[in-house]
Structure 1
Amino acid sequence: MSDKALDKFLRKVPDVQVLANATVSTATLLLTNHHLIVATPHTPSSSQDGSSHQPKPKTREVYIAYPMIAQCTFRPTPPSSGLSSTIRLRCRDFLFVTFNFVDDRQARDVFETIKCQTCKLGSIEKLYAFTYDAPPIEKAVGGWELYDAKAEWKRQGISDKGIDRGWRISKINLDYAFSPTYPALLVVPSSISDNTLNYAGRYRSRVRIPTLTYLHPVNNCSITRSSQPMAGLRGNRSIQDEKLVSACFSASAQIDDGEPSSQTISRASPASSQADLGLPTDSELSETERLEDEMISASNIEIVSDKPHIYGAQQHNLIVDARPTVNALAMQAVGLGSENMDHYKFATKAYLGIENIHVMRDSLAKVIEAVKDSDISRLPPNQELLVKSGWLKHITGLLDGAALIARQVGIQHSHVLIHCSDGWDRTSQLSALSQLMLDPYYRTIEGFIVLIEKDWLAFGHMFQHRSGFLNSEKWFSTQNDALAGSAIQPGGNGEGRGDAIENALLSAKRFFNKSNASQDTVTDSDGELLSVDESPKAKRRSGTKDTLADKEATKPKETSPVFHQFLDCTYQLLHQYPTRFEFNERFLRRLLYHLYSCQYGTFLYNNEKSRLDARVQQRTASAWGYFLAQRAGFTNKDYDGGEIDDHVKGKERLLFPKLDKVRWWPELFNRKDQDMNGPVNTVTERYLGDREDSMGVGGGVLTGVETADRVVPAGSIRHTPPNGTQGKLASLREGISGLGIVKSMGGGGSKSPANSKQPLEVEMQ
């Protein structure tokens, strides 16, 4: 490295001891504006020509982008102690690394520099993406041009030149004035005018109206998505919203009194054959019903319907509320809620019981606690903590819900509307996963990119808020404890030095600063819990306004591994169907890496409008250029992309998850498969045996979701919530009744460092 290049470094610290991947090495730390570089001496093997000439030593460099740092702990030592001061990093790609410094002042300077470059930037535009110059091979690919909304709708049979298959492309949001978090082009039923959309938008949270995201190419059945309705305690309704949802459910077929016409039935895919799909025939229904009864406790899905549900019927239109029933009902207290099915009698409702962003964030934190010693120990992760995390339970629940949607569309020939709270977290997960199960195109590399662009980026998943690109000072800490400076030793209990003291101090802090969350917090429409002082109403009362830095700053309570979970679910399908995906496991892993690296502009900001305003396409490079330029390294060598044939096993259009085969993704956590999964996945078995959500919701109906060796059909609708839920709903209704407000409650819900001097090795871009 030239002296001119060294001029760019903010800090250069030689002779730092590095612990990573259970190995110890000595390295030089180079701190630049955007990366922490770990430079390790590396001597190539001796010449093979018999000469005495020794090859020149080289330097192996590992780049750690500052936004990749999820936690940084500094442990200083007194100068007279003779012990090392340490900095320990946890990165978002689950790299754990510890740096030991002889000089405490050096260590402190490095810590402050990392902290300043990571979480004191103040603006997204100071991230690496805005200075990164992509190599010519990436620029030649044209990553920004890969997704064209009109081209994708045309692929689905819808053009902007007229009315196709009962749908049209509305330009009501072309300037994003109608719904700032929605894409510019919205596909809506051709029978619905823009004027009706204007009125319907007033009834949906953040004006995120029901709009098309997928149209099945064979049976014309649709997947639409939206946010929650603003039903409130008074049971508010919107005739325009009801008309819009009804039109979505009948856009592609003539429907009379809720029954499909012969035209709809005649368009049935060959996949509708029960025998071909392994579904039970009429003579086998009694046995299937018995199997269904055995599996009722295996799902959080709760079906709400006033109509008999007959197995084999061709149309069972479904409104999917991703939330637990109690959570959806509780949102009525803040003017939101879920559909009153008395006004949507053309459909059935399913509550999936998928937890909110806070539960998912805490779940991943427990996984991190279990695997955190990978820098200092070769011992397997703490299995007890892995079990307690509930991570696999959440992954299974997402796959279960997405399979329900895919089955309704692909087999039951029905329409589905999906929403959660604001329709950008759980809704994006379920919508994208169900399309991945339905459409082989999305299992190709280009198709998967289009799926992410459409259902995540265009439909406004809040990547900036959920990922925390600007980091937070709360994730940087200084530990002045009695054990500071002592050598870190691996232990079977998975505890690093000072963790017990740290936990005790945190517990004491929580005790002296505890508050009653139910009294001191208010609920935002997307399920966030904001302190009263942080709520929008409180800020308006105090007259304070958010600055640009405040709006872009990371709020730790808004971060959550939503997109991570989607990739994990995709990994499960890839592992279970290794010949059905064009991309490989490494593609998914690098995709998660570049979500957090902030090297590309693809995932910056929260929605399409914000990216357009920031001109990211003109000012940054696209992540898709990187993946397509190195396509060979991300291609699945076992991929069989032959002709789709629903009568040939392994070539069917549809695929469904095998829920009892859900497993840990060991490569992502930088662990061996044996360490994470073992010979028997006891974690999965434990949670599949007792899948209850944190509110006690369980015992719903598993509606036609395939398991390893059998398929359970829809049926046996349970009108009464399980005992645990029934009590909570009754208490909630009683509490709401005490407010003296007239209301309609219809539609409610009735998982020792090696001494060898090996260099730190991490796969880099």
Structure 2
Amino acid sequence: MADKLRITKVEDVQVLSRGEISVVTLHLTPHHLVLVQTLGPPSARQAPSPNHRPTPVRTRESWIAYPMIAFCTFRPTPPGSALSSSIRLRCRDFKFLTLNFGDDRQARDVFESIKGATCRLGSIEKLYAFSYKPQPPEKRISGWEIYDAKAEWKRQGISDKGVDRGWRISKINIDYSFSPTYPALLAVPSTISDNTLNYAGRYRSRVRIPVLTYLHPVNNCSITRSSQPLAGLRGNRSIQDEKLVSACFSACATVDDGDTATSSTSRSSPASSQADLGPSSADGELSEAERLEDEMISSSTLEVVSEKPHVYGAQQHNLIVDARPTVNALAMQAVGLGSENMDHYKFATKAYLGIDNIHVMRESLAKVIEAIKDSDVSNLPPNRELLAKSGWLKHIAGLLDGAALIARQVGIQHSNVLIHCSDGWDRTSQLSALAQLLLDPYYRTIEGFIVLVEKDWLAFGHMFQHRSGFLNSEKWFSVQNDALAGSAIQPGGNGDGRGDAIENALLSAKRFFNKSNHSQDNIADPDGELLPFDDSPKGKKTSISKDSSADSEATKPKETSPVFHQFLDATYQLLRQFPTRFEFNERFLRRLLYHLYSCQYGTFLYNNEKSRKDARVQERTVSVWAYFLSNKEGFTNNDYDGGVIDDHVKGKERLIFPNLDKVRWWHEVFNRTDEEMNGPTNTVTERYLGNHTPRSGSPHSVLTGVETSGTATTTRQVSNGNTGGFASLREGMAGLGFGGKGIQGNKRSRDTKKEMEVEMQ
């Protein structure tokens, strides 16, 4: 790393931050940029040292890990100008700095050194994590042992030595040869053989078949997750996949008599849980949300067999959740992918949640940055109108809305849910993890949250390396010679990865028909639906099911996206709304986001479990959980009430549900005050959020079922009886205004068209 540094020390560097100027000595170490500010002589009240030697002056140090630098602009001194050369930095923890130098050569050497230590590093294994030496408190904790897949499945009631609660542990992927992006151990229905899994894998993108991630302890209902099916325009189907999904949805009915019974749905039952009881208001009256819960509860019937309650009727409400906007899923059929044809999955209903893709989320955060980007040169509040127009809070509310739907289906309607998006590692991880936070108090503890992140994010293959861009990109470094250099700080360029949705669909279809279906040209980028035609790989025949870890380590700006950041933001919203229900505090979430990018620990460095094992990160690096657990007291919520779960006592219920009207800016993470980000009453934000009506129809409630709207529709209404791929694509085009009788011009068409414009604008 030292060979990447052109200079290691610069004195008298002027730093501009929050409108304040300070003078520092700048040190460039192999892994950090260190700003040392002299605060002056020691206090006069400080006692002199025994030998009467001068006491060292007081200093303040600020350490910036190189991977934390998200954008860097160098403005050299114009010829003949008296202006200083400057470097403007934006860090991934949303700190903004401007460094002014008296010597242009020194400034240029610092710029090139930072560039060499980030985007020119060349390999993940040169990051700080592989040379970091932990402090003694961290050494005493084995952070890598906090999560054990077998132990977590056992906690959920599933053993690897037999069949429990209708599920078994399959070792078909023990060497990662079956699905390189999936964990080694897969929980699958006990009625499904590994041979069936083999055949079913051919029908799911990247062989990410439907497998269990969560089993509800009260009613034995499940959350399973997968990637999209390879349906294509021809309407391909897989009997094995249909059998697997059906088995996932019926596993709770195969529990042996010796297993744990599910609880009653009666309010009068003393053993009932939050899955069966809506929270009672203090005055005994039921709120609108509680009344809706009662209506849903009554739709499930209870049949007693051998004096043991079993929940039937849940099969009537099983749900396949496609996190994408409807039109995106339809457009993916043009490249051999798509969504389930529900004529073959009649045991379930489907909901499209309309959650935007990684490109939209990246651009949304870029607009937030645009609103706060001048915080180095000014201490003024951010532009609240720009904040509102970013759509960031709308996206966070949408995630919470979708997670609430899943939690209600499992916890209240006694149903099973299968979640997927495109490849099943971005929106799927967000929804699955958030739903489990709503359902299970264990995941609201510090240890439980660690297990949740390890299971649903790390083990299930969220592409941390690709989404976070640890090695940075040359595109994020610029040299500007004009007076306004550095004023626009936003990574990723002008709308990378976006494009006109209609043109995408048509050009993708054209390529599809010009090539055989077996080639599966990778026009679709990982979990981002579609790339613009000009950005799609030309002349390359890339199998959809190949291991993404084989890609180059270089950061691809079009694949970066704040997916995990959004999950932490949504978790913060829950913590803020339920301050006594979480063992960890806000600082825990903020430091977790920081260490995602610091690259000080090996936890998040790679894209999947296989890649981390291949790199031997457990042997060569320290787990980030050692840091948190060695400082547990500082990350513990003092208001946490970890008492016994009691669904008859308000505030102690098993389930929690978010109030979407109370979604606010996570001001701490943006280094702003609550008033600066949210204001006393942020009318601009409220106006924009007013367009996001919860799908339940009530402004104070969350999703209560599958309804027909622009963002959550049943597949039967989307397909309108036309089950073939051509018909689906034709209907999708009609919904965008390309003709087609019966759809064009109606409200559904306008909703879908608007949805697509938001997706790709």
TM over 0.5: yes
Q: Could you say which residue in structure 2 is the equivalent of 1:183? A: 183
**Alpha-carbon shift at residue 723 of structure 1 (Å):** 13
| Conserved 8 A contact 1:532-1:538 | no
Counterpart CA distance in 2 for 1:160 and 1:84 is 66
Q: Could you say which residue in structure 2 is the equivalent of 1:124? A: 124
Counterpart CA distance in 1 for 2:288 and 2:162 is 45
Counterpart CA distance in 1 for 2:534 and 2:288 is 57
Residue by residue over 1:51-100, the C-alpha shift from the partner in whole angstroms, topping out at 9 and shown as x without a partner, is 79874203322111111111000011135312101100000000100000
Q: Supply the AA of the counterpart residue of 1:113.
A: S
Structure 1 residues 122 and 285, CA gap change in structure 2 (3 angstroms): closer
| Conserved 8 A contact 2:72-2:477 | yes
Structure 1 residues 321 and 279, CA gap change in structure 2 (3 angstroms): farther
Structure 1 residues 177 and 21, CA gap change in structure 2 (3 angstroms): same
| Conserved 8 A contact 1:321-1:338 | yes
Counterpart CA distance in 2 for 1:250 and 1:280 is 40
Counterpart CA distance in 1 for 2:64 and 2:597 is 11
SS of residue paired to 1:249: helix
Counterpart CA distance in 2 for 1:265 and 1:733 is 47
Unaligned runs of 5+ in 1: 256-261, 293-307, 485-495, 692-698, 739-747, 751-765
Counterpart CA distance in 1 for 2:200 and 2:719 is 32
Counterpart CA distance in 1 for 2:10 and 2:293 is 68
Counterpart CA distance in 1 for 2:577 and 2:274 is 20
Q: Could you say which residue in structure 2 is the equivalent of 1:487? A: none
Q: Could you say which residue in structure 1 is the equivalent of 2:109? A: 109
Counterpart CA distance in 2 for 1:126 and 1:290 is 53
Counterpart CA distance in 1 for 2:735 and 2:569 is 39
- Bigger shift: residues 120-129 or 531-540: 531-540
Residue by residue over 1:265-294, the C-alpha shift from the partner in whole angstroms, topping out at 9 and shown as x without a partner, is 7488432445545699999999968999xx
**Alpha-carbon shift at residue 546 of structure 1 (Å):** 13
| Conserved 8 A contact 1:309-1:716 | no
| Conserved 8 A contact 1:18-1:24 | yes
Counterpart CA distance in 1 for 2:48 and 2:184 is 67
- Residue 271 of structure 1 is aligned with which of 245, 267, 274? 274
Counterpart CA distance in 2 for 1:146 and 1:628 is 10
- Bigger shift: residues 711-720 or 610-619: 711-720
| Conserved 8 A contact 2:351-2:706 | no
Q: Supply the AA of the counterpart residue of 1:686.
A: R
Q: Could you say which residue in structure 2 is the equivalent of 1:87? A: 87
Structure 1 residues 481 and 602, CA gap change in structure 2 (3 angstroms): same
1:599 matched to 2:600? The reply is: yes
Q: Could you say which residue in structure 2 is the equivalent of 1:167? A: 167
Q: Could you say which residue in structure 2 is the equivalent of 1:238? A: 238
**Alpha-carbon shift at residue 659 of structure 1 (Å):** 0.5
Structure 1 residues 129 and 272, CA gap change in structure 2 (3 angstroms): closer
SS of residue paired to 1:61: strand
SS of residue paired to 1:402: helix
**Alpha-carbon shift at residue 539 of structure 1 (Å):** 3.3
- Bigger shift: residues 424-433 or 346-355: 346-355
Structure 1 residues 683 and 564, CA gap change in structure 2 (3 angstroms): farther
- Residue 34 of structure 2 is aligned with which of 33, 37, 40? 37
Q: Supply the AA of the counterpart residue of 1:702.
A: S
Q: Could you say which residue in structure 2 is the equivalent of 1:566? A: 567
Counterpart CA distance in 2 for 1:20 and 1:282 is 53
Unaligned runs of 5+ in 2: 267-271, 302-312, 509-522, 721-726, 739-748, 753-761
Structure 1 residues 73 and 289, CA gap change in structure 2 (3 angstroms): same
Counterpart CA distance in 1 for 2:60 and 2:375 is 21
1:22 matched to 2:22? The reply is: no
Q: Could you say which residue in structure 1 is the equivalent of 2:741? A: none
Q: Supply the AA of the counterpart residue of 2:43.
A: S
* Residues 258-337 of structure 1 aligned to structure 2 (within 5 Å): 266=264, 269-274=272-277, 276=279, 311=299, 314-315=313-314, 316-337=317-338
**Alpha-carbon shift at residue 434 of structure 1 (Å):** 0.3
| Conserved 8 A contact 1:275-1:281 | no
* Residues 659-698 of structure 1 aligned to structure 2 (within 5 Å): 659-691=660-692
Structure 1 residues 684 and 436, CA gap change in structure 2 (3 angstroms): farther
Q: Could you say which residue in structure 1 is the equivalent of 2:448? A: 447
- Bigger shift: residues 7-16 or 71-80: 7-16
Structure 1 residues 284 and 526, CA gap change in structure 2 (3 angstroms): closer
**Alpha-carbon shift at residue 43 of structure 1 (Å):** 3.4
- Bigger shift: residues 175-184 or 330-339: 330-339
Counterpart CA distance in 1 for 2:595 and 2:641 is 27
Structure 1 residues 189 and 684, CA gap change in structure 2 (3 angstroms): farther
- Residue 702 of structure 1 is aligned with which of 693, 696, 707? 696
Q: Percent identity?
A: 71
Q: Could you say which residue in structure 2 is the equivalent of 1:393? A: 394
Q: Supply the AA of the counterpart residue of 2:374.
A: D
Q: Could you say which residue in structure 1 is the equivalent of 2:227? A: 227
Counterpart CA distance in 2 for 1:142 and 1:72 is 36
Residue by residue over 1:483-517, the C-alpha shift from the partner in whole angstroms, topping out at 9 and shown as x without a partner, is 56xxxxxxxxxxx75x5xx99xx99x99xxxx976
Structure 1 residues 137 and 475, CA gap change in structure 2 (3 angstroms): same
Counterpart CA distance in 1 for 2:181 and 2:623 is 21
Q: Supply the AA of the counterpart residue of 1:361.
A: R
SS of residue paired to 1:19: strand
Q: Could you say which residue in structure 2 is the equivalent of 1:407? A: 408
Counterpart CA distance in 1 for 2:685 and 2:351 is 24
Structure 1 residues 351 and 188, CA gap change in structure 2 (3 angstroms): same
Q: Could you say which residue in structure 1 is the equivalent of 2:153? A: 153
Structure 1 residues 519 and 410, CA gap change in structure 2 (3 angstroms): closer
SS of residue paired to 1:552: coil
SS of residue paired to 2:140: helix
Structure 1 residues 118 and 395, CA gap change in structure 2 (3 angstroms): same
Counterpart CA distance in 1 for 2:331 and 2:251 is 32
Q: Could you say which residue in structure 2 is the equivalent of 1:642? A: 643
Q: Could you say which residue in structure 1 is the equivalent of 2:579? A: 578
| Conserved 8 A contact 1:433-1:570 | yes
Counterpart CA distance in 1 for 2:240 and 2:394 is 38
Counterpart CA distance in 2 for 1:422 and 1:279 is 45
Q: Supply the AA of the counterpart residue of 2:625.
A: W
| Conserved 8 A contact 2:201-2:207 | yes
Residue by residue over 1:106-159, the C-alpha shift from the partner in whole angstroms, topping out at 9 and shown as x without a partner, is 111111111111100111111111111112211211001111000000000011
| Conserved 8 A contact 1:405-1:416 | yes
Counterpart CA distance in 1 for 2:715 and 2:158 is 41
- Residue 46 of structure 1 is aligned with which of 43, 66, 77? 43
| Conserved 8 A contact 1:336-1:525 | no
| Conserved 8 A contact 2:297-2:413 | no
**Alpha-carbon shift at residue 376 of structure 1 (Å):** 1.7
Structure 1 residues 265 and 242, CA gap change in structure 2 (3 angstroms): farther
**Alpha-carbon shift at residue 210 of structure 1 (Å):** 0.4
Counterpart CA distance in 1 for 2:288 and 2:597 is 49
Higher relative contact order (CA 8 A, sep 6+): 1
1:631 matched to 2:632? The reply is: yes
Q: Could you say which residue in structure 2 is the equivalent of 1:477? A: 478
Counterpart CA distance in 1 for 2:27 and 2:644 is 52
| Conserved 8 A contact 2:362-2:560 | yes
Q: How many residues align?
A: 684
Structure 1 residues 720 and 735, CA gap change in structure 2 (3 angstroms): closer
Q: Could you say which residue in structure 2 is the equivalent of 1:297? A: none
Counterpart CA distance in 1 for 2:598 and 2:413 is 42
Counterpart CA distance in 2 for 1:78 and 1:549 is 44
Q: Supply the AA of the counterpart residue of 1:270.
A: S
Structure 1 residues 729 and 689, CA gap change in structure 2 (3 angstroms): farther
**Alpha-carbon shift at residue 48 of structure 1 (Å):** 2.8
| Conserved 8 A contact 1:230-1:335 | yes
| Conserved 8 A contact 1:69-1:91 | yes
Q: Supply the AA of the counterpart residue of 2:142.
A: G
